[in-house]
Amino acid sequence: MSLAIGSRAIGSLAIGVDVGGTKIAAGVVDEQGRIVAQLREPTPAGDPAEIARVISTMARSLADEHGATTIGIGAAGFVDQDRSRVIFAPNLAWRDEPLQDLVQQATGLPTVVENDANAAGWAESRFGAARDARSALVLTIGTGIGGAIITDDRLVRGANGFAGELGHFIIRPDGRRCGCGLRGCWERYGSGSALVMEARELAGLDARLGARLLELADDDPREITGLHVTQAAQEGDVAALDCFTTLGTWIGRGMAVLAAVLDPEVFVLAGGVSETGDLLRAPAQRAFRQSLTARRHRPEPRVEVASLGNDAGLIGAADLSRLG
């Protein structure tokens, strides 16, 4: 199944909602992807009914004030083919949750539910770093790896709505154990969590090489964070730069696998880790080129850094709601 730019409500304002583990962001978005107004509330992560109530209250308030006519919800989890139910969410208490019905009944507005990475990727393809491409792979690199597949201006969702779980193809057989139950998943090597794991291991094994990382973490390798690694790398610290090189190499290798399967025009690096810019993009692009099939005989997909930041999920969810 795929969704395309088709019968869109031209000129309409839409509400986008991005539901995260700690906060819910809701905003009014116009046809150009600009946020007109925005609200934020804490996420009552353990109470599905309360999550739906908070979403509905925020959306109703924005709709009443700005005249928005549809609601799109970006949810961190598996969303069904009909874009109505959250089948499973790893960090929220959603299990086969009829979120669309609950919000529609409370607000009286047409509502669609979409995976949050799909929503963010759609925003980058419509308004952001991939807006000039008809096919793109958007990688949301944070604690794990999510993604969105856009082909011929269509969001590819798969037979059950679960396409785009890019972090869970096996890049290293029998490798590190993953929270999904498998071993060797891409996100166990190419995510923000992997960056921190690499830095902690390096500093724990070689205190001299990891001296700056340890200094930032009060001499406890277990307290090293992604922010510490980024700060040290920006200062030119050899150990931190090596950690980014390792991370980027795994990301680039995975991108080459995806290019062989999907042949996109552009890869967009999104999510929190992408905000490090060329610290991540440079080694990722280098490894990608080295691993790309038939690289001397084909156009090379571009590698871009996302441009919409934390607002991408909200913007994409709003825009997708116009598709009905």
Taking 70 as the threshold, does the pLDDT of residue 8 lie above it?
Answer: no
* pLDDT digits 0-9 by tens, 138-177: 999 988 898 999 999 999 999 998 898 899 999 999 999 9
**CA-CA distance, 89 to 79, in Å (whole number)?**
9
Domain extents in the chain: 2-123+311-321, 133-306
Taking 80 as the threshold, does the pLDDT of residue 5 lie above it?
Answer: no
* pLDDT digits 0-9 by tens, 56-76: 999 999 999 999 999 999 998
Say what the pLDDT of residue 11 is.
54
CB within 8 Å of 154: residues ≥ 6 apart: 2, 3, 4
Give phi and psi for 168, each to the nearest 5. -120, 25
Residue with tokens 């009060």: 218
pLDDT over 90, % of the chain: 84
For 86-92, what is the mean pLDDT? 85
Taking only Cα atoms into account, the Rg of the chain, rounded to an integer number of angstroms, comes to 20
For 282-301, what is the mean pLDDT? 94
Please give the model's pTM, rounded to 2 decimal places: 0.89
Query: Which whole-number Å values give the CA distances from 61 to 55, 68, 197, 254, in the listed order?
Result: 10, 10, 43, 43
Say what the pLDDT of residue 1 is.
56
What CATH number does the domain located at 133-306 have? 3.30.420.40
**CA-CA distance, 216 to 232, in Å (whole number)?**
8
Give phi and psi for 15, each to the nearest 5. -100, 130
Taking 60 as the threshold, does the pLDDT of residue 312 lie above it?
Answer: yes
Taking 50 as the threshold, does the pLDDT of residue 103 lie above it?
Answer: yes
**CA-CA distance, 57 to 61, in Å (whole number)?**
6
For 179-196, what is the mean pLDDT? 93
Residue with tokens 């923000």: 192
Asked if the domains at 2-123+311-321 and 133-306 fall in one CATH topology, the answer is yes
Confidence grade of residue 77 (pLDDT, cut at 50, 70, 90): confident
CATH, domain 2-123+311-321, list 3.30.43.10, 3.30.420.40, 1.20.120.450, 3.90.226.10: 3.30.420.40
For 204-232, what is the mean pLDDT? 96
Taking 50 as the threshold, does the pLDDT of residue 79 lie above it?
Answer: yes
Rounded to the nearest 10 degrees, what angle do helices 99-107 and 48-66 cross at? Answer: 40
For 275-285, what is the mean pLDDT? 94
Say what the pLDDT of residue 40 is.
95
Count, residues in the chain: 324
- Side chain identity at 150, as an amino acid letter? I
Question: What SS3 state is found at 144?
Answer: coil
Taking 90 as the threshold, does the pLDDT of residue 22 lie above it?
Answer: no
The two tokens of residue 113 are 């539910």
**CA-CA distance, 97 to 84, in Å (whole number)?**
9
**Is the separation of the CB atoms in 182 and 168 below 8 Å?**
yes
Confidence grade of residue 24 (pLDDT, cut at 50, 70, 90): very high
DSSP-H helix ranges across 174-225: 192-205, 211-216
**CA-CA distance, 75 to 314, in Å (whole number)?**
10
